[in-house]
């Protein structure tokens, strides 16, 4: 019997939408409860993915394949592998928390808010599980509109500016990706990702070097804007700062990963030559992002903006890991995506809780908060430590794997990137010191209430996730292993397929590449699976 688990997971949140629509607009309690129930059910069901997931199989699992617009070659094709599995879980894990944290913060148009959150959950999961390029693009664009509303309606001060900037930036990138998808269709005759991969691997379809570079560029631009990679990051601080807490959690926790996921899923396996050719440039941009993001974060006076800039820095690590092309660095990158989702999501949750009390993000408005709010601030410290990669917490594993993996191929990159880890300690601890320690400087802060039961639940859940990911990291990496191996093998196969008819220029390049990335080549059986309609 074919499994429909992915369809269920992808569309269950949408089922909550009519349920919410039926409720009266001012029945806030039940709107919240139903939204939470749907998202919790969603999380519970998504755990079945773990049970059925075969970690030895590097290919796509839980596949579903149906004709959609057959005449145009568009199919409804879903599947997960070791790369996307945990990103789906991250999404289903963070959404209930985002709903919980909006329990009291959102007063106006509550129904619309939770509908937007549920729609965005469907869209994000859809992005992670789509194996058809156009289906992917459908979901990719679908993420934009709810987020646009989340920022624009329920955001803070300059919300409209931030919302429009966010959506125009992202659309500009994605429309060129659409052109690239269509062009690829013309060359390969399919929108189906495994199909295209198979054609590239067997050399049935050869991309000329210039075409490959242009296609890579169009895809990469869309993803780099989403990540965001320096110097395309300018939408991010605005969007984050103005978004409501739940929006920031979703944005930082999951949506930024859509970009890095896209790089792993499309840029690398489809255009390996171009990826190798552009890697030096991208690596340098990623390192600039790491250092620059950290330095800018240090000097922020706005707590939320500070956290936003840490994302630029941390996502720089992810991009670096991906474009270092080693199994370890790519695993590290995937792990870092998850861990950044948890840590930064938690940071935004904490900042949101402060905002709920004082309605400001200015650091100088706070100070000495440990005295009135010992529990909240302890959790906050713990989260900050996880974000600055303290062993044995989650952030450490990701950064460490990335740095090791990068070091294998590029010593200098790793050295520069490591400085980002140091800087992250500076900006986070300094910020924490100014907010938490010392005397209470602002009189209003003296009697702030400590974390409520709901807030403790949220923070404790996050803390457990942080510790769990830190100490039980093999549970994660084991499931990523075979997919990352096969990813690198696919890159090699595509490259060698194109080199069979290669130009001398490219053949020369191949010699120059480091040997380390091939070392796992014999480890696992490779699935040369092809999907038949």
Partner 1 sequence: VIPFPREQIGNFHRLAPEIILCAFGIVIMVADPFVQAAHKRALGWLGLIGALGGLVGVHFMAHDPGNAYSNLIRADSFSIFVHLVVMGAAALAILGSFNYLDHENIQRGEYYALVLFATAGMGILAGANELVTAFIGLEMSSISTYVLAGFRRKAIKSNEASLKYFVLGSFATAFFLYGIAMVYGATGTTRIDLIADALQKMMADQGQVASLAILGLALMFVGLGFKVVVAPFQVYAPDVYEGAPTPVTALLASGPKAATFAVMLRIFYVSFGAAGNFWFWAVWISAVLTMIVGNFAALVQTNVKRMLAYSSIAHAGYILVAFAAGTDIGIAAVLFYLAAYALMKIGAFLVIAHLGQQGEKRLEITDYAGLGSRQPVLAICFSLFLLSLLGLPATGGFLGKLFAFQAALDSKVVWLVVIAAINSVIGAYYYLRVMVAMYFWEPSKEYLPSKVAPTLAFALAIAAVGTLYLGILPARVLELAKVAADSIYLR
Helix (H) / strand (E) containing 79: strand 74-80
Shortest Cβ distance from residue 140 to partner 1 (Å)?
Answer: 8
Angstrom distance (rounded) from CA 122 to CA 15: 10
Angstrom distance (rounded) from CA 343 to CA 311: 10
Q: Does residue 53 bind partner 1 (CB under 8 A)? A: no
160 vs 422, beta carbon nearer partner 1: 160
**Contact positions with partner 1 (CB under 8 A) in 95-154:** 109, 134, 137-139, 141-142, 144-145, 148-149, 152-153
DSSP per-residue string spanning 100-128: HHTTTT--SSHHHHHHHHHHHHHHHHHHH
At a CB cut-off of 8 Å and minimum separation 6, what does 23 contact? 30, 31, 34, 111
List of long-range contacts for 26-32, beta carbons under 8 Å, 24+ apart: 28/110, 31/110, 31/111, 31/114, 32/99, 32/102, 32/103, 32/110, 32/114
Q: Does residue 164 bind partner 1 (CB under 8 A)? A: yes
Q: Does residue 178 bind partner 1 (CB under 8 A)? A: yes
Q: Is residue 59 within 8 Å of residue 306, measured between CB atoms? A: no
Helix (H) / strand (E) containing 67: strand 61-69
The span of 180-188, 193-201, 265-273, 428-436 binding partner 1 (CB under 8 A) equals 180-188
Q: Is residue 174 within 8 Å of residue 137, measured between CB atoms? A: yes
Angstrom distance (rounded) from CA 189 to CA 38: 39
154 vs 400, beta carbon nearer partner 1: 154
Strand partners, 69: 74
Per-residue contact string for residues 481-510; x = within reach of partner 1 by CB under 8 A: ------------------------------
179 vs 415, beta carbon nearer partner 1: 179
Which of 47, 50, 56, 69 forms a contact with partner 1 (CB under 8 A)? 69
Per-residue contact string for residues 185-214; x = within reach of partner 1 by CB under 8 A: xx----------------------------
175 vs 426, beta carbon nearer partner 1: 175
Which of 44, 179, 281, 507 forms a contact with partner 1 (CB under 8 A)? 179
Q: Does residue 281 bind partner 1 (CB under 8 A)? A: no
Shortest Cβ distance from residue 472 to partner 1 (Å)?
Answer: 38
The span of 76-84, 173-181, 198-206, 447-455 binding partner 1 (CB under 8 A) equals 173-181
Q: Measured between alpha carbons, how far is residue 418 from residues 200, 233, 400, 413, 424 in Å? A: 36, 21, 9, 8, 10
User: Structure tokens of 512?
Assistant: 């120059």
What is the number of other CB atoms lying within 10 angstroms of the CB of residue 17?
18
Shortest Cβ distance from residue 120 to partner 1 (Å)?
Answer: 14
241 vs 326, beta carbon nearer partner 1: 241
56 vs 72, beta carbon nearer partner 1: 72
Which of 10, 20, 80, 167 forms a contact with partner 1 (CB under 8 A)? 167
Q: Note the residues at the interface with partner 1 (CB under 8 A).
A: 68-72, 109, 134, 137-139, 141-142, 144-145, 148-149, 152-153, 159-160, 163-164, 167-168, 171-172, 175-176, 178-179, 182-183, 185-186
């Amino acid at each position: 019997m074919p499994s429909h688990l992915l369809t269920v997971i992808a569309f269950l949140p949408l089922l909550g939408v009519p349920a919410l629509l039926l409720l009266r607009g001012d029945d806030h309690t039940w709107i919240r409860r139903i939204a939470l129930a749907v998202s919790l059910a969603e999380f519970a069901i998504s755990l079945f993915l773990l049970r059925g997931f075969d970690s030895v199989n590097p290919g796509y699992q839980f596949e579903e394949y149906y004709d959609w617009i057959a005449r145009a070659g568009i199919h409804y094709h879903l599947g997960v592998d070791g790369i996307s599995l945990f990103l789906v879980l991250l999404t289903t894990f963070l959404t209930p928390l985002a709903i919980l944290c909006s329990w009291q913060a959102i007063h106006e148009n509550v129904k619309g808010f939770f509908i937007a959150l549920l729609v965005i959950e469907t869209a994000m999961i859809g992005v992670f599980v789509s194996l058809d390029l156009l289906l992917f693009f459908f979901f990719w664009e679908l993420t934009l509109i709810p987020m646009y509303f989340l920022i624009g309606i329920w955001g803070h001060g300059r919300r409209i500016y931030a919302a429009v900037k966010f959506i125009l930036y992202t659309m500009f990138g994605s429309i060129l990706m659409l052109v690239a998808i269509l062009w690829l269709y013309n060359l390969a005759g399919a929108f189906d990702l495994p199909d295209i991969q198979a054609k590239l691997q067997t050399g049935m379809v050869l991309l000329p070097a210039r075409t490959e570079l242009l296609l890579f560029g169009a895809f990469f631009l869309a993803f780099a804007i989403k990540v965001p990679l320096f110097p395309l990051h300018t939408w991010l601080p605005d969007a984050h700062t103005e978004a409501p807490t739940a929006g920031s959690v979703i944005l930082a926790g999951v949506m930024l990963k859509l970009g890095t996921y896209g790089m792993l899923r499309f840029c690398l396996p489809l255009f390996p030559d171009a990826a190798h050719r552009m890697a030096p440039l991208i690596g340098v941009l990623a390192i600039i992002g790491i250092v620059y993001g950290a330095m800018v974060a240090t000097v922020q006076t706005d707590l939320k903006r500070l956290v936003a800039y840490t994302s630029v820095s941390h996502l720089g690590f992810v991009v670096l890991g991906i474009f270092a092309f080693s199994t370890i660095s790519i695993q590290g990158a995937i792990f870092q995506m998850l861990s950044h989702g948890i840590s930064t999501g938690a940071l935004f949750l904490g900042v949101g809780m402060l905002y709920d009390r004082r309605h400001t993000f200015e650091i100088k408005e706070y100070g000495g908060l440990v005295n009135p709010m010992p529990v909240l601030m302890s959790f906050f410290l713990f989260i900050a430590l996880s974000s600055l990669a303290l062993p044995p917490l989650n952030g450490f594993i990701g950064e460490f794997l990335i740095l090791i993996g990068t070091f294998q191929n590029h010593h200098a990159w790793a050295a520069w990137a490591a400085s980002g880890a140091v800087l992250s300690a500076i900006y986070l601890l300094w910020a924490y010191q100014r907010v938490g320690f010392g005397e209470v400087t602002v009189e209003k802060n003296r009697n702030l209430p400590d974390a409520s039961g709901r807030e403790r639940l949220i923070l404790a859940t996050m803390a457990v996730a942080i510790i769990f990911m830190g100490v039980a990291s093999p549970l994660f990496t084991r499931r990523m292993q075979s997919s990352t191996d096969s990813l690198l093998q696919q890159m090699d196969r595509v490259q060698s397929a194109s080199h069979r008819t290669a130009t001398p220029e490219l053949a020369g390049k191949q010699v120059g590449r480091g040997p380390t990335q091939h070392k796992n080549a014999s480890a696992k059986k490779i699935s040369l699976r092809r999907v038949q309609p």
